[in-house]
Structures are given as C-alpha cells and as structure tokens.
Amino acid sequence: VKGKPIVVSTWDFGRAANAAAWEILKKGGRALDAVEAGVRVPEADPNNHTVGYSGYPDRDGRVTLDACIMDEHGNCGSVGALEHVTHAISVARMVMEKTPHVMLVGDGALQFALANGFQKENLLTPESEKAWKEWLKTSEYKPVINIENKSYTPTNGATAFNPLMLPGNVYNHDTIGMVAMDAEGNLSGACTTSGMAFKLHGRLGDSPIIGAGLYVDNEVGAATSTGVGEEVIKIVGSHLVVELMRQGYPPEKACKEAVERIVKRSPSKAKEIQVGFLALNKKGEHGAYCLQKGFNYAACTSDTSNILIDGKHYF
C-alpha cells in the first residue's frame, strides 16, 4: 500500500500526537502501540483542557474521562467516566488485554486501574477549576462549535457567554480520535476525552462507545469522531463510516454520508452543533467531513510530513 505506515488524528493538537505515534510506526511497530502512545500526548498536556489531565470537570467539579481502543483483530477495550487517572487510553487497553470485558465504568474502572499499577492523581488543575467556577455563575450548558480548534472564531453567535473561551479569546481543544495503519498494513484506533465540559455527572459521550466514537475493521478501514457525542451515538457514527467504506465509499464520502444522516435526523439541531468524522481505509486513503467549518485533522506519513488538513463541511 502506498503511503503506509500512516497515522491521522483529529484537530490541530493531533500533530503532536501523530509525532509520538510515528516514532513507533517508523520502526515497524504495531498500529495499536502507535495509537496508544499518540493519544497519551494530549492526555498528559496541561494546556489541553478536554483530554486527560487538566480536563474540564463535570458540573459537580469532577474530571471524568472516556476512552476506547480497538485493534486489527477486532479486540476492543473502553473506560467510561473514569476519575483520577490521566492515561484513560492505557486503562482501556488493559481492559481489552486483561479482562474478558469490553467496558468498565466509574468506580469499577478506577478500582481496576489502581489494582493494575496506575496511580491515583488529581486531574483538576487550578485553571480548570477556575473555568468551572466561572461556569457555575450561570450554569448554562451550551456546547460551542469548534471549541477544539483554537484558531477558529465562531460565526454561530455562540459568543454571548462562552465558559470555554480562555482569556485572550483563545479557543480550547477537545477529544482526540486517532487511527493508524502500520507497515504490516494492520489498522488500529484510539479515542480519548474528558467529554463535554460541565456535563451532568455520569454522562458518557460517544468517545468510549465502540462503533460510535471509534471503529476499526482490518479488512476495510477505521473511523473516529469528534463533536457532540449524543448525535454521533444516535447514528452509531464510526461504525456507519466503516460500513460505507466497505460498500466502496472513499473515506471523505463515507464521512459526508454520516454527517448527512445527522442533519436528516435533526436539521435544526445540526445547525447549532459540531460533529466531525475522520476515516482511513486499507489503501491508506484518508478523509474527513464535518457539520461546520473549522474542523481539521493531522495526517502523518513520514518524519517530514505531518500536515493539517481542513475537513469539508456541510453548512
């Protein structure tokens, strides 16, 4: 396959994540190891407030992480609403490899992590706590389009009160979804997030749900999603994208079709939110599509090529 190995991931911070994944891929490593190492970068980044450490908390002030991982054999593991552990993706991988289960959530996920060598940490940083306290003043829950892309200025009027806008009008980042193909031609994927900021305690998004936030089929391709998870779950988005690729759709067209399903189901809501899909097929072709302008992804095929690509958009 031309362009193999390859790794693609959501948003501009995907470049740093891709670079870490590339270190493994370029040595002939396994895609599974690459995607885990890749998404651990934003998980540990104190400046990224919607993945891992320093993620924005839920409305009760608790940082709860969602993550899932899937390999070339169709094995998968997931954690939902995991607290106190930065590297949710590594716990998800351990669920996959060390248990007969696919998902562990809440206290059970934490208990499992601590029993398997993860340390209990405080993930709420002073900065995130401040943003939460600011949000508490109005407690308005309104997801802001393209919160993940810091160079994007919203045009949807969502500026009246935006708790996620940091001083200086800097937009913050969000979920990372990453899919990769290694030198052997095998596919894997990973997805990790602290979810929608100031969500109800216990809320799970699409990111820990196999088929919604991530899906990998080694015969066909892999897909992941970002944005308002509820809408992605309703169409089982990433699985849909992979199945469309199985029918012969190129990656971008498959992502477009999934986005159109969201619009069709709820046209007025679709105008006000962001959802983006990113896909990679067995030929090493990749593409993305989203509801609103502003979604981009990072694609890396060599040490010197780790580029940002704008996703085409519906509106």
* Choice between 182 and 206, CB closer to ligand SD4: 206
- Only one of the segments 27-35, 78-86, 156-164, 222-230 lies at the binding site for ligand SD4 (rule: CB under 6 A); that segment is 222-230
Q: Is 175 a catalytic residue?
A: yes
Dig out the tokens for 109 from the structure: 């996920």
* Choice between 33 and 206, CB closer to ligand SD4: 206
Active-site hit among 86, 175, 192, 193: 175
Q: How many Å apart are CA 198 and CA 196, to the nearest integer?
A: 6
Q: Does 52 bind ligand SD4 (CB under 6 A)?
A: no
All residues at 6 or more sequence positions from 252 whose CB lies less than 8 Å from its CB, including other chains: 279, 287, 288, 289, 312
Contact 38, 20 (CB under 8 A): yes
Q: Does 192 bind ligand SD4 (CB under 6 A)?
A: no
Q: Does 238 bind ligand SD4 (CB under 6 A)?
A: no
Q: Write out the binding residues for substrate.
A: 203-206, 226-229
Which is nearest to 299 in space by CA: 284, 289, 314, 312? 284
Among 33, 36, 72, 174, binds ligand SD4 (CB under 6 A): 174
Q: Does 54 bind ligand SD4 (CB under 6 A)?
A: no
Minimal distance in Å, beta carbon 155 to ligand SD4? 18
* Choice between 197 and 216, CB closer to ligand SD4: 197
Q: Does 193 bind ligand SD4 (CB under 6 A)?
A: yes
Q: Write out the binding residues.
A: 203-206, 226-229
Binding site for ligand SD4 (CB under 6 A): 148, 174-175, 193, 195-196, 205-207, 226-229
